[in-house]
Chain A
Amino acid sequence: MVESKQQWKAWLYLAPAILLLLVFTVWPIINTVSMAFQEDYCAQRALMGETYEIGIENFKKVLDYGNFVDYLTNTMILCVATVPISTILALLIAVALNSIKTLQKGLQTIFFLPYVTNSIAIGMVFAAMFNVIGFRKAGGEALADSWGIINNVIMFFGGKPVDWIGANSSLAANRFVVMVYSVWNALPFKILILLGGLQSINKQYYDAARVDGTPRARVLTKITIPLLSPMLAYVVITGFIGGFKEYSSIVGIFGDTMGPNDMNTMVGYIYKALSTQKQGAASAAALILFGIILVVTLINLRVSKKRVHY
């Protein structure tokens, strides 16, 4: 009797969550897959009774559509560049933080700060830092020229200023800015996870290494990195997943127009298709994104299985 009472009670407690999940999680999975396989599916017209041919046309169209491939390349380049850079930097910072006592807490807080920010808002700050300011209006008010603080720094060290994000900027320059922002954005999470991992490594391994006079670099490569490998694999995988879903940081820097060179990414493509009522194409693109993330994750897991210890 008690059991049957527990049964209906349990389902009562679960009801809100299950109802919401059915509508906003389970149904979308089914529907998105089905839309992806209906040629040129459009939700508005579907409501009015329009039917569509079943097939893989949507996928073909998405892939044939030149911009999508550009966006894909764009996303890939961002991922491949930023994930290793941010992981290595985060590792070095975490190891350094772990080796000090004075100021450790304070520095740790500073390094976590970028996490608690609004990516659109701070994107605007990065845009401001990279911007080339001011042009001379013929006969108009005299505005001082500035190359922007980043160019100022480059010029201070004897380099040449670059038009980073302006109307005539190059795609490479745009990408560089997004990469810098992505690395800056990705550091706090990685540092947090890696530092947590470092702190859980038994101190005796380091005492043992000290007794044997192991040089710092060798401790890092032979002891710390192998023992930290599960955490490293974790931040790399989540880094790739996050990288493939990059979108709002680019909006933060360039605005909705995605800059002079159309710096859009795959997620951006999906939303663009969605807001123009091309749900079929959006669904196909989302499935492709899902597939890519799945493959990248599997590859990562495969590689880490060989490299990760335990």
Chain B
Amino acid sequence: MADKNMTTMSDRNLQSITTSQRVKSILGKAGIYLFLGIMALIVLFPFYWMIISSLKNLSEYRKAIPTFWPHEIQWINYVNAFNTANLGRLFLNTLYVGVVSTILSVIITVITAFAFARLEFKGKELLFAMLLATMMIPGELFTITNYITVVNWLEWGNTFTALIVPFLVSVFYIYLLRQNFLQIPNELYLAAKVDGTSDIKYLWKVMVPLALPTLISITILKMMGAWNTYIWPKLVTTDKEYELITNGLRNAFTDTSGQADIPKQMAAVAIVSAPLFLVFLFLRKYIMAGVSRSGIKG
């Protein structure tokens, strides 16, 4: 059966095949880069528009023919935005809620994951399965009762406690960390027991360093969650003193019609977005690793 094909190559013009395959491959590559380039521009455009709009003065922004770079850079928009939305207060509030809830949440996650990964107790498997089952239920279902619990029963309305406590336990993070802990050989734990190392010391000296990438991912995602949360704070806080950044931003600029001072709005949006970008820039690896395993925003 080989000889049937023996002739085929000499029939074809080798040179033309070589040329056409090269042209094809270059065109293919060019097409791919063109497609990716256009998509990247589309993805980036809102950020670009946010930044240049935030630096224009109002009349330039409203020009019929848009300008793609501000004639005169208006840093004053940022000052105005910061004052109008009282961004300083919002930053501090959000930072406080974010840091406290992240620290507490990480501690709870670590000891819970440790118990599930290393300790033996009755009903462990059942309890863990029940925990996982709660992940299937949409959060809105909890919110209704939690609202009643927090506002009507615990009377935490307008406190930071209401913003922190209900979200301290994340079943998903416990699951993630437990899987990570399980990969650490049990012999290390038994050896530590033989040496008389306490659990807490072992956790701190062995497990936590080994699971550090996961812990960093959890920390960042939790902080980002505090930065982006909107619905719950809106429900349980009415007092400006406890307002978080997203709510403050939305409330300060209720007018989204064309008549509003968009450059100032965009400056505020840019200020609010900046910390997220900075975190992303430096900790991209951990964020992407965490997200690819979790698929939840915040």
Contacts and interface: CB of A to CB of B under 8 A. Distances in A.
A adjacent to B, CB under 8 Å: yes
Interface of A: 3, 6-7, 9-11, 13-14, 16-17, 20-21, 23-29, 31-32, 35, 43-44, 47, 89, 92-93, 96-97, 99-100, 103, 107, 109-122, 124-129, 131-135, 143-149, 152, 165-167, 184, 187, 189, 192-193, 196, 216, 234, 238, 241, 245, 247-248, 251-256, 267, 270-271, 274-275, 279, 282-283, 286-287, 289-290, 293-294
A89 B39 CA distance: 9
A257 B134 CA distance: 32
Nearest to A143: B62
Contacts of B114: 13
Given A93-B36, A129-B46, A132-B258, A287 B228 contact: no
A238 B172 CA distance: 15
A220 to B, nearest CB: 12
Contacts of B2: none
A255 B273 contact: no
Interface in B264-298: 265-266, 269, 272-273, 276-277, 279-280, 284, 287-288, 291-292, 295, 297
Contacts of A32: 141-142, 144-145
Given A113-B47, A131-B262, A121 B269 contact: yes
Contact of A120 (B33, B46, B249): B249
B120 interface: yes
B250 interface: yes
B163 interface: no
B63 interface: yes
Interface in B84-134: 108, 111-112, 114-115, 119-122, 124, 127, 131, 134
Instruction: Name the residue in B42, B144, B146 with the highest tally of chain A Cβ atoms < 10 Å from its Cβ.
Output: B144
Interface residues of B, number: 94
A93 B32 CA distance: 9
A177 to B, nearest CB: 11
Contacts of B257: 131, 166-167
A187 B257 CA distance: 27
Q: Is the interface of B mostly helix, strand, loop or mixed?
A: helix
A270 B235 CA distance: 12
A306 B255 CA distance: 49
A112 B224 CA distance: 15
B39 A111 contact: yes
A134 B269 contact: no
Contacts of A286: 138, 140-141, 143-144
Nearest to B168: A20
B43 A184 contact: yes
Contact of A289 (B127, B138, B145, B269): B138
A115 B46 contact: no
Given A109-B284, A192-B292, A274-B235, A116 B259 contact: no
Contacts of A256: 250, 254
Given A29-B137, A110-B40, A146 B66 contact: yes
Given A35-B145, A132-B258, A107 B40 contact: yes
Contacts of A148: 258
Given A113-B43, A290-B141, A293-B138, 15 more contacts: A10-B124, A28-B149, A89-B39, A93-B39, A116-B280, A119-B230, A120-B246, A122-B269, A128-B266, A129-B49, A131-B262, A132-B258, A187-B43, A245-B139, A255-B255
B231 interface: yes
B54 to A, nearest CB: 10
Contacts of A23: 149
B15 interface: no
A310 B210 CA distance: 33
B145 A248 contact: no
Given A111-B40, A113-B43, A133 B152 contact: no
Given A13-B115, A279-B148, A245 B138 contact: yes
A133 B146 CA distance: 42
Nearest 9 pairs of A and B residues by beta carbon: A28-B145, A133-B258, A10-B121, A13-B115, A10-B119, A28-B142, A116-B280, A17-B112, A43-B148
B144 A283 contact: yes
